[in-house]
Amino acid sequence: MGGSAGTLPSLMARLFGTDGVRGVFGRDLTTEIARDLGRAAVRVLREGEAAPTFVIGRDTRASGVALEGALVDGIVQAGGDVALAGVVPTPAVAFLTAAHGATSGVVISASHNPPEDNGIKFFGWRGFKLPDRLEDEIEAEIARGDADGPAGRLLDEPVDIASYLDHVASCVEAPLDGMRVVVDCANGAASRFTPPLFERLGAQVVAIHADPDGSNINVGCGALHPEVVAEAVVRNGADAGVAHDGDADRALFADAEGNVIDGDQVLAACSVAMKERGALDGDVVVTTVMSNIGFHRAMEEHGIRVISAAVGDRYVLEQMLEQGVALGGEQSGHLIFRDDATTGDGLLTAVRFLSLAAARGVSVAELAAVMRRFPQVLVNVEVAHKERLEEAYEIWDAVREHEAELDGSGRVLVRASGTEPIVRVMVEAESEELARGHADAMAGAIASALA
């Protein structure tokens, strides 16, 4: 059966974004596109005569079932074999792909996006996300729409994720005995996994937003709304809270007082702990340009060098692999423990951070106190010509002027959105009032220059 050439030209110039193919189901991402992606991936990733094998997992969105069926059809029609993992966290698919020697892992998820969205992202045989080069080849293959060869198979046995959960549990630094933890599962892929995992490690668990119905993933809960788990921690008299996003590749936290602990603070605490036991290769950590200035100051105080990558966990991982770095992450809660995972893993992050507190006999608030978080103000400026940002010298002159006024006690970051006609301004300063004043002034300069 031949592929449907012509699907790609109706889309944007590049089908793949920074984290796979993603958009509104039925409009930006259809079953036809999923089928074409499956066919093309088989042709691009096939090596030799053996049928390539794909492990497929999905989150709890209602549209995931239809996309899974179409993706399986495309892979099998092109001669690939498929093993279904069902609803599982994204990092589980990455782990199982490598552990079972599959050619590729595929996740059907739009991560933290709203329920009407969905996405498809591929992992290679080692469990790393596919590089841009292979994504480009898949796109080109869709456009060609060559005929398929002998059909592949949908394998009878579902994938058993017990080995993934065993692996995450083995990374614990101390039992969580007696620790009372609220877990916000975002009505997503973590719902059946994180609560029992924590109970297995000895914690008393209060699970919230762990009843997915296909349409409530990420809605008013999870890592996008960490204040929800923070309130639940106080209400339940818990020691800590964990908030996942829909596909559970990130984790944010709350302390017993109801304060949110972000990814920068978790990364700082884990970096210092790993350095102290000689596990932080080269005493280097990777983060993104969005990390808080307080993170940089804390790392400097502890003799840890920081490498800044572009926003996106794939770019953090690229720097980690290029520089041989053991730990990296984002403010949003994506952390990559390179010795234990090939991608951001919310379950692993939660186990590592909570068990670090247990091992040291301290609260998560005491761990997070390794850095002081500077107030951060983010303003989105709608513009007509975001592509002119790089050459808009008046904007960069304004950035230098505002940073000079902050005099080392803050910073200004300006970047264009990758998907919207927006330029983002982020300002950090000693106070929120000061940060807001500089951010609003920069927003005015950008609106004027790029109108």
Q: How confident is the model at residue 96 (pLDDT cuts 50, 70, 90)?
A: very high
Write down the pLDDT at residue 11: 40
CA distance 383 to 415: 12
- Across the range 151-165, mean pLDDT stands at 91
- 244 pLDDT band, cuts 50/70/90, is very high
Q: Would you name the residues annotated as active-site residues?
A: 111
Q: Which residue has the tokens 């960490």?
A: 226
Stronger pLDDT, 59 or 311, i.e. the higher one:
59
Least confident among 2-6, 94-98, 221-225, 330-334:
2-6
Residue 108 to residue 86: CA distance in whole angstroms: 10
First-to-last CA distance in the chain?
Answer: 49
Packing angle, helices 63-77 and 31-45, rounded to 10: 40
pLDDT at residue 9 above 50? no
Enumerate residues 6+ apart whose C-beta is below 8 A from 410: 293, 374, 403, 427, 428, 429, 430, 434, 435, 438
Amino acid 17: pLDDT? 81
What would the mean pLDDT of 265-275 be, rounded to a whole number? Answer: 98
Provide the whole-model pTM: 0.90
Q: Are 249 and 90 in contact (CB under 8 A)?
A: yes
Question: What average pLDDT is seen over the chain?
Answer: 93
- Beta-bridge partner residues of 414: 425
Q: Show the CA angle centred on residue 356, arms to residues 353 and 358, nearest 5°.
A: 115
Q: Domains for the chain: give ranges and CATH numbers.
A: 8-160 (3.40.120.10), 163-257 (3.40.120.10), 261-344+355-368 (3.40.120.10), 376-449 (3.30.310.50)
212-226, 247-261, 343-357, 403-417: segment of lowest average pLDDT: 403-417
Residue 12, pLDDT score = 42
What pLDDT score was predicted for residue 147? 67
The predicted-structure confidence for 23-62, as pLDDT tens digits, reads as follows: 999 999 999 999 999 999 999 999 887 899 999 999 999 9
- Measure the CA–CA gap between 257 and 239, rounded to whole angstroms: 9
Q: Cα separation of 21 and 135, whole Å?
A: 10
CA distance 253 to 238: 12
- Predicted local confidence at residue 180, as pLDDT: 98
User: Picking from 141-155, 222-236, 349-363, which range would have the lowest pLDDT averaged per residue?
Assistant: 141-155
Closest alpha carbon to 398 in 381, 420, 384:
381
**Confidence class for position 419, pLDDT limits 50, 70, 90:** low
Helix (H) or strand (E) holding 193: none
Tens of pLDDT, residues 120-146: 999 999 999 998 899 999 999 998 877
Backbone conformation region of residue 237, classed left if phi is above 0, alpha if psi is from -120 to 50, else beta: left
425: left (phi over 0), alpha (psi -120 to 50) or beta: beta
Per-residue pLDDT, 249: 97
Q: What percent of the chain has pLDDT over 70?
A: 97
Strand 251-255 relative to strand 260-261, pairing: antiparallel
